[in-house]
Every structure is written in C-alpha cells, then in structure tokens.
Amino acid sequence: MGKIVWLASYPKSGTTWLRAFLHNFLRPQDRPYDINRLNEFCESENDAALYHRYDPRSPRQYSLADVQRLRPLVHRDLTRAFPDLVFVKTHNAVLLVEGVPLLTPAVTAGSIYVVRDPRAVAVSYSHHLGLPIDETIAFMANDAAAAGNDDTHVFERLAGWSSHVLSWTQHPNPRALVLRYEDMATDPLRSFGNVVRFLGREPPPDRLERAVQFSRFEILQEQERRSGFVERPTATAAFFREGRTDGWRDVLTPAQMARIERDHAAQMRRFGYL
C-alpha cells in the first residue's frame, strides 16, 4: 500500500478548509494554525516546482505529455516528504490522460473527497476565476475542462462537475472517505471526527473541538484579512469569501439554477441536493 492520502475535490468545494482542520488537529497549538503555512505537511501535486526538478524549462512550456510523463515521478517523490502518511491536495478527476493515471495507484493509501452543491460551487468558482457565472456554469459542464499550465501550476484535468464527482465516488472503497461540504458546515464535530477516525485514530473530544473551532470559516477569513493568503488568485478579492451553504439562492437566476440542475441532476440527487 502507498503513503499518499489524497485530499480531493472539485475546485471551491472545501479542501482548503479540510487542510486547515488537519493542521489544527495534527499540529495542535494555543492559537489557530497560520493559513499561510498549510503546505507544511499538506502538499499540492500540481505545484510546478515539483516538476521543475525533472525539467528545468518554464512550466508554461510543458506539453500535456511532458506533465503526464513526470507525474508518477513527482508522486513517488511526495511519498518521501514525511515518514508516515503524506496528505496531498488535488483537483484532478480519477482519469487516465495520455495513458497515465492522474492519481498514481501504487503510491495511494487512500482519499478524502469533499463534494459540494454545484450551485454553490458555481458562485464561488466564478469569483475565484474572475469569470461571469454563465461561463463558469458552462465550464462546470465541460468534460474536457482543465486548469493549471502556468508558471506555478501544471495541468489538472477537472472534467465536468458530475464526471469529477462520479470518478471519485462511484466505487465504494474502505480506503475512501466522502464528505459533504454542507455536513461539514452544519455538524463539523461529526464530520471532522469522521476524518480523524478514517485516519485510524479516536479523536480526544477536547482536541477535536479545539481544532474545529480554530478552523472555523470566520477564523480563516480573519486571518486572510489580516495577513493575506498566498493561495488567493489575483482575479479575486478574497479566497475565503462567504462559505455559506445556501448563498447561491441570493445570486443565481432561475435560469442559471435550472441549467445547473439539468446538467448535474443525477449526481445532485445522489448527494441530496435535489
């Protein structure tokens, strides 16, 4: 069995919140963990610097085939980052690209996948990308959708929201935990407690409660206001913008809601969103 636990989601679905909780639980302090240090033991598999070790060119020059040739080597390197389990963030779907898996099975110990109502994702992701909501909704329905391929991030294949969700959740697997963002928001002690149990521990109640409190959205938001956030894209004013589970109701038009529900009905029903 491998060493990597993938922290996976479609973008803007909650993996940063999950990472903040893990840092606060596994590295307990008397104050909330600094959001600008979330890479201290949670790696990001599309970090171009990891690929630059093998190919010194500008990452913008990498072809898709180049990235896929290097990806298994990078994943192997990530297993050496820490002596025990290694947490690695990814937005890739579980797919073969150029004949190479986007997630290398040989190094995989398990996965924690966060799913979020696509209506909420559409609003949050449009702010993140700096795109109109209608363009974001169309992007989320595109099974060829990809991200990255810039100076700091290599190619990621997202696929459409439904295909992404299905790729991670269609096969029951004891080494895979699936969380709903909405449950993380309404019952964080239970949701995050399940994360710790999935990792093979019984969480001490006081330590769990402190980690949940220290990773509350309002805490993350205040840290970003005070110190900025290195992962915030330039297109958006704030990474931790609202975090509401139903804010989409105040933003989306009836036509936009209907388009999302039509595009993603099957997976929305699976997860209780319709």
Q: Which residue has the higher pLDDT, 216 or 70?
A: 70
pLDDT digits (tens, 9 = 90+) for 97-132: 999 999 999 999 999 999 999 999 999 899 888 899
Name the range with the highest mean pLDDT among 24-28, 196-200, 219-223: 196-200
Q: Is the pLDDT of residue 235 over 90?
A: no
In this predicted structure, which of 37-41, 53-57, 135-139, 184-188 has the lowest mean pLDDT?
37-41
236 pLDDT band, cuts 50/70/90, is: low
Q: Which residue has the higher pLDDT, 34 or 258?
A: 258
For the chain, the structural domain boundaries read 4-270
CATH of 4-270, one of 2.60.200.20, 3.40.930.10, 3.40.50.720, 3.40.50.300: 3.40.50.300
Arithmetic mean of pLDDT over the chain: 91
The pLDDT > 90 percentage for the chain reads: 71
pLDDT digits (tens, 9 = 90+) for 172-214: 889 999 999 999 999 999 999 999 999 998 999 999 999 999 9
Q: Is the pLDDT of residue 226 over 90?
A: no
Return d(Cα 259, Cα 268) in angstroms, integer: 13
- Give the per-residue pLDDT at 229: 72
Q: Is the pLDDT of residue 245 over 90?
A: no
